[in-house]
Structure 1
Amino acid sequence: MTVQERSTTVAPSRSSVDVYDFGRPATLAREHSRVLELAFETFARQWATQLTAKIRVRSHVTSEQLVMLTYDEYAASLPSTTAMVICGFPDTDHKAVVQFPLSAALSWVVQMLGGRPTVMDDERTFTPIEQALVKRLMSDALEDLDYSFNNLLPDGIALSAMHYNSQFAQAAASSDLVIVSHFSIRVGDHVSPASVMLPSELVIPRLSSVNPTTPIDNAPELLRRQVHETPVELALRLSPVAMTPREVLQLSVGDLITVPHSQDKPLELVIDGNVIATAAVGSNGTRLACVLTGPTSPEESP
């Protein structure tokens, strides 16, 4: 091995192993995901309408991704300094979070007070007046969230606190599973990321009652039933003839193709290229039909 070859040799990377708890699967059932996606899309539309009315600048909110994470993973994915609106529910200790950049909220406040649309690069915390205006915006947004989720959340969600450090805002235990929806908020020409976090222990049981998942105890029976009831295309064909591409390209109207199928030989009943039986041409009233003459012999089976 030369020096150049040695220098380009890449050491094998170490594979990482993630511990998976089958008692607490960190994935959403397909039925549950669809219900939550629809709820978050409804909330995005309502939130955009509310922002447009309050800021007086055309706004658009898009729900981009729905994931299930631990709260520690969610907090680690956020900027160290950001606006985190902690929301509480009556008769429970569970918390929800609405998160968005401080700079975006400061820009909203400026426009609410009649200022010109501008991109704020400042990530400072809010003044008392700014915080009051942001809380007013969030109170309306929480009403939209409550409306969008209907029976999936307890009635009476309300703003309970506001934090600026994602590492210190303990809205849940580090290992608790949470449902997170990521959004993009476009106000005028400026786009900002945002997210909404909901506790899975509060939402999943309600999802199960509203849209129960399909039980998997009888999965083999369901699979067999699906196979038996799946439509397939059945064809009746003569014995195939082999031709070269040149011969095919030279075919024209009136040419005669000799098929190696004798007159007394049954035709082949075929599914997806596989011969399953033999049959003869018949009729059923005014329609053509085929009459089964026998199964495929072992030497003819695919």
Structure 2
Amino acid sequence: MPALSQQSPLPSARAHKVVEAYDFRRPTTLAREHSRVLELAFETFARQWGTQLGAKIRAGSTVVTEQVTMATYDEYAASLPSSTAMVLCTLAGQEARGVIQFPSEAALFWVTRMLGGASNAPIPDRKFTQIEHALVKRLVDDTLEDLRYSFGSLLDEVPTVDGIHFNSQFAQAAATNTLMIVAVFTIRVGERNWRATVALPAEVLVQQLGNSNPVSDPAAAPAQLRAQIGHVPVDVALALTPVPVTPETILNLVVGDVLPLPHPVARPFDLTLGGKPIARAIGVTHGSRRAGQIVTTEETHP
């Protein structure tokens, strides 16, 4: 097979693959089991959000979960556009607040649809009026109900709207180093697409995840490993006592040759695993098949 030169193009699947940088200074602390539970919860929320939004604006809409990650609040805020709608949400018993973020243009489009306006009219990127603020808050209140329903026991109470801000750099929902669970969504209404995010303090969810989906006790790992290995299939064989021969003997073998073996007729066969004898057995008939009946076992040492 010819070697690829340094100038050889990569296959298209690899050429278009997005590579995500890994920060070794702050490794991910979210367990795989917890990550999967959160992904399922956010996927359920996305379906509920899309259904509720479509009913309110009377237009076909879908919400798709794109990514669920853990990041500090500073990193999350830096990833947002400077001008956007950020709804800060109060969580019971928590100083840090959650965030539901979406473009102001999207919210104004939803309000226009709710009031019966034309959906193809140009929409400026601006702050909300009092009426628009009230309508958007009602939409978000219903969205938070869907969030509480989707997360089940992970959220004890429905979050409440604390305020709506329009600058991601000035809206301070939590301390800069607070870890947040961040979900990225794509909202589609007709031919319009918007990017939205939901950020929740990791402390709230991780504490509940430890109860709803506990991680296995590390002390039980050896027993679990032995139990798993005990069900792995292996190949065993009945073998005669081996005889050493020269390569010349092997090369000169022809049909009809007899190769003497130093295996007494009365001695059982060796039952081997990976070439090592583990027991001895005699040949028997089991129904229409040949089988080996164990007569002795070898001493094994760990």
What percentage of residue pairs aligned between the two structures are identical?
Answer: 47
**Aligned ranges 1:73-222 → 2 under 5 Å:** 73-118=75-120, 122-222=124-224
**Contact preservation (8 Å) 1:26, 1:177:** no
Q: How has the CA–CA distance of structure 1 residues 50 and 293 changed in structure 2, closer, same or farther, with 3 Å as cutoff? A: same
Q: Which amino acid aligns with 2:232?
A: P
Q: Which runs of 5+ in 2 are unaligned?
A: 1-20, 241-253, 298-302
Compute the displacement of 1:91 (Å): 3.6
1:36 pairs with 2:38:
yes
- What does residue 231 of structure 1 align with? 232
Other-structure match for 1:300: none
Question: Residue 67 in 1 paired to residue 73 in 2?
Answer: no
Shift of residue 291 of structure 1? 4.9
* Structure 1 residues 17 and 135: CA distance shift in structure 2, 3 A: closer
Number of aligned positions between the proteins: 258
Corresponding residue SS for 1:288: strand
Q: Distance in 1 between matches of 2:295 and 2:121?
A: 79
Asked whether the equivalents of residues 60 and 186 of structure 1 are also in contact (C-alpha less than 8 Å), the reply is: yes
CA deviation vs aligned residue, 1:97-152 (integer Å, no higher than 9, x gap): 11111111121111111123338563222222222111111111011111111211
Code of the residue aligned with 2:228 in structure 1: it is: Q
1:260 & 1:152 partners in 2: Cα distance?
A: 76
User: Is 1:19 aligned with 2:13?
Assistant: no
Matched residue, 1:242: none
CA RMSD of aligned residues (A): 3.4
2: CA distance, partners of 1:131 / 1:263? 96
- Tell which deviates more after alignment, 87-96 or 76-85: 87-96
| Residues 149 and 258 (structure 1), Cα distance of their counterparts in 2 relative to 1, 3 Å cut | farther
Compared CA separation, residues 138 and 80, structure 1 to 2 (3 A): same
**Paired residue for 1:52?**
54
Structure 2 residue matching 1:171: 3-state secondary structure: coil
Q: TM-score, normalised by structure 1?
A: 0.73
| Contact persistence 1:119–1:190 (CA under 8 A) | no
Amino acid in structure 1 at the alignment position of 2:57: I
The CA distance in 2 between the partners of 1:154 and 1:176, in whole Å, is 20
For residue 285 of structure 2, what is the aligned residue in structure 1? Answer: 283
Assess if the C-alpha contact under 8 Å between 1:235 and 1:270 holds in 2: yes
Question: Which has the higher mean CA deviation after the structures are superposed, 217-226 or 205-214?
Answer: 217-226
Q: Deviations over 1:258-295 (max 9, x none)?
A: 79996968999787xx5444977543344432356999
Q: Is the 8 A contact 2:39 2:68 kept in 1?
A: yes
Q: Partner of 1:124: helix, strand, or coil? A: coil
